Every structure is written in structure tokens, then in C-alpha cells.
Amino acid sequence: MKNLIVLIPEGFFVKYFVYTRKESKRFEGKEIFEIEKKGKIKFRASETSNADTKNLIGNYKPEAVAVRILYGGNEFKQPILYDKSVLEKLERLIPQSPLHIPLAIKLIKILERTIPAPDIILFFETAFFANLPVQERVYAVNDKLIDTDTRRFGYHGLFHDAVVERAGQNQKTELRIISICLEPIPEIAAIYNGKPVMVSSGATPLDGIPGDTTCGEIDPGIVLILEERKKWGPEMIDYVLTRKSGLSAVAEKRTSIDDLFTNDEAYKSARNIFEYRILLSCGSAMALMNGFDVLAFSGKYIRSTEKLSAWLLPKLIHTPIEKSKSGFPAVFFLQDPLEKVILEGMLKYVR
């Protein structure tokens, strides 16, 4: 394996993961590349798993760098090698994602100046959902009146795509998968014959299932009430719904999905709401696909899936849970973290 770097932007910071030739050694750092307003990279050594990581990155000469980008899947329906034409297309997407795309562009330009990598490979989370069925992706709003193109996306497409590839190996055609991605902002996708037909997320990742600090699906009128009664502007409303809501708001303390499946009664109400929303989305997926063959789990909180699946599966199957001769229904666990999923995608482009 070549020397490779995987970059996962998170706000104004970027997590990096380095894979080296020697024994496939993996170095991990959090908040190492800080994108400053002047377009420079500030190296930070905090929260690194190896004391030499800072020096390693400072002197590193990777053969390829992968960058995970949240939006852009409508234009780029698969991973793509970066060139100037790609930059031009990304710049045209800024009105659709004014928060995420400019930061991604800035990071790419920094990489061009800072790390002499011959290949920069871009991975788009929304690409997996670019061709959602019309009835699933379209909202009943007048796009011409509001002067914007609104549609539903999914935002953990890289995990869902990996589930299709792994869970579907040597399996029957027209496989029906309910893919549950347990990230801080969770997401469920119904996947039929390798293609998504339903997703719990919406026009933004905020919609859908409640997350660690995100509200999930709410009545749009609540936003108007907050504006009218609290006199809050868009920034404050966004802050409250994305940082001060979700499971943490229900539990009245900082809460993750992993916390829900401990024996602490303080999380009982949050767990009940979370499980209920998961069950509703799975029910919708089953209705669309006339059942399911595989219940798949992935994401940061994969260790919680054993308890969740033990609670969920009997509710989805109303007969005794016995595998048929074909091995269905099955439960599949994708243990790999996001950076490993991206790394395996990189290896299709560089060897």
C-alpha cells in the first residue's frame, strides 16, 4: 500500500488519517489541520495518538490524499480525481451549500500548496443519493417561487455504499437492505438492488432521526415560532437546533447514542424516542421494499448496535426469527470507521 492520507473536514477543522507503507501503520490525529481565515494551515499536536505524528505530517510526501466532502453528489456521482475543471464545478455549487463547499475548496487549495501530492481524490457523501426516486427526493414546494432547488439527500452515502458492497457480496440479486448508520447525526436508508429508494435525512442533515445534539424531524412552523417569540435570527435558530437539541436536550445533559444503551436510567426517555424514530423509519423502508433481506449497521456508534438490533429485529419480523435456507433475513455489521471506508475507495484509484 502506498503512503496515503485521508482528510475528513469537520467545521473549521479537519481530522487526518495517515496510512504508511511500513507495516500499513496508521497514524491518527484530530484537529490537526486548522484552516485559518488567511488560508494557512496551523498544525496542532493535541489529541494525537502518536507523539511523532506532527513531525510526520509536516514532512510527509503522500502519493495520494483523499478529501471527504459532504455536498456535491448531484454533480459528482462517484469519487473523482481533482483537477482544475473540478474546482470550477465546485465553485458553481457554492450557492447550494454556502457553508460546506467554500471550506472544501479552501482545503483543496491549501493541499495544492502545502502537500505535493500527485493525486487528490474527492469523495462525496451525497453522491449515493443523487438518483433517489422522484417521489422520494422532491418536496411539495414551489422552487420557482422560493428561487432555490430543494430536494432530499442522504448524508452518509459512503457508509451506505460500503454496506451495499460488503453485505451484498455473493448474495442474491435484488437484495433489500435497511441500512442504519449510527453517527452523531444518524441516518436510515432503504436500499433495493444496490440503489437507495428512501432515506431518513432531508434537504439538510438536520432532518430525520434525532442525533446527539440535532433535533431531527420537526414541524417547520417551530422555526417560525422561534423567530416570532424569541426574536431569534437564522444563526441562533440553527445553533439551537443543531447544537442544543436532540438526545442531549431530552436527557438534559450531553448525550451520545452509545450512552442510550447503558443501564443509566437518566437516558431512558431519550432512548425511547430514539428507538421509536428508528422503528418508524425501518417500517417505511419495509413498506417500500415489501420487507427486507438484510438489516445493516455502520457508523461511529457501531458498538451500540448489538443491543439496538436485539431490540429492533423482533419488531420487524413478526414470526419466529429463523434464517431461511438462503440465509435471510440477516444482520450485518460494518465495523470499519469512515476513514477506512474512504481508504478502501482510494485503493481503487491508486495502487
Q: Is 349 inside any structural domain?
A: no
DSSP for residue 174: S
| Residue 143 in domain | no
Residue 6's CB: how many other CB atoms inside 10 A?
28
- Answer yes or no: is 195 within a domain: yes
How many domains does the chain contain in total?
2
Residues 118 and 179 in one domain: no
d(CA 125, CA 72): 8
User: In this prediction, what percent of the chain has a pLDDT beyond 70?
Assistant: 81
Tell me: do 113 and 205 sit in the same domain: no
Q: How far apart are CA 180 and CA 295, in angstroms?
A: 8
Residues 184 and 331 in one domain: yes
321 with 220, same domain: the answer is yes
Q: Please indicate, yes or no, whether residues 209 and 63 belong to a single structural domain of this protein.
A: no
Q: How far is CA 15 from CA 29, 52, 53, 280, in A?
A: 6, 16, 13, 33
Query: How crowded is the C-beta side of 105, counted as CA atoms within 13 Å?
Result: 18
- Residue 222 in domain: yes
Residues 299 and 190 placed together within one structural domain of the fold: yes
Residues 123 and 239 reside in one and the same domain: no
Please indicate, yes or no, whether residues 117 and 183 belong to a single structural domain of this protein: no
Residues 306 and 177 in one domain: yes
- Measuring CA to CA, which residue among 63, 181, 185 is closest to residue 120? 63
Q: Which residues of 266-289 are buried (b: 16+ CB within 10 A; e: fewer)?
A: ebeebbebbbebbeebbeebbebb
How is 9-58 classified by DSSP, letter by letter?
Answer: EETTEEEEEEE-SGGG-EEEEEEEEEE-TTS-EEE--TT-SSTTHHHHHH
Which helix (H) or strand (E) segment holds residue 109: the answer is helix 100-114
For residue 213, give the DSSP letter. Answer: S
Domain membership of residue 86 (yes or no) is: yes
Domain edge (last residue) among 73, 100, 129:
129
Q: Is residue 139 part of a domain?
A: no
- Answer yes or no: do 210 and 92 share one domain: no
Q: Out of 96, 129, 162, pick the residue that ends a domain.
A: 129
Which range marks the domain in which residue 239 is found? 173-338
Residue 137 domain-assigned (yes or no) = no
Which pLDDT belongs to residue 286? 95
The CATH number linked to 180 is 3.30.420.40
Choosing from 73, 96, 129, the residue where a domain stops is: 129
Half-sphere exposure of residue 330: CA atoms within 13 angstroms, side-chain side: 17
Q: At 315, list the grid cell.
A: 419488531
**pLDDT at res. 177:** 95
DSSP state of 209: S
Q: Are residues 178 and 104 in the same domain?
A: no
329 cis-preceded (ω within 30 degrees of 0) = yes
pLDDT of residue 80: 92
The pair phi, psi for residue 234, each rounded to 5°, is: -60, -40
b/e per residue 124-163 (b: at least 16 CB within 10 A): bbbbbbbebeeeebeeeeeeeeeeeeebbbbbbbbbbbbb
- pTM, to two decimals: 0.87
Rounded to an integer, what distance in angstroms lies between the CA atom of residue 267 and that of residue 290? 33
Chain CA centroid to CA 2, Å: 26
Which residue ranges of the chain lie beneath pLDDT 50?
23-25, 27-58, 319-325
One domain, residues 185 and 115 = no
pLDDT at position 210:
97
Q: Is residue 323 part of a domain?
A: yes
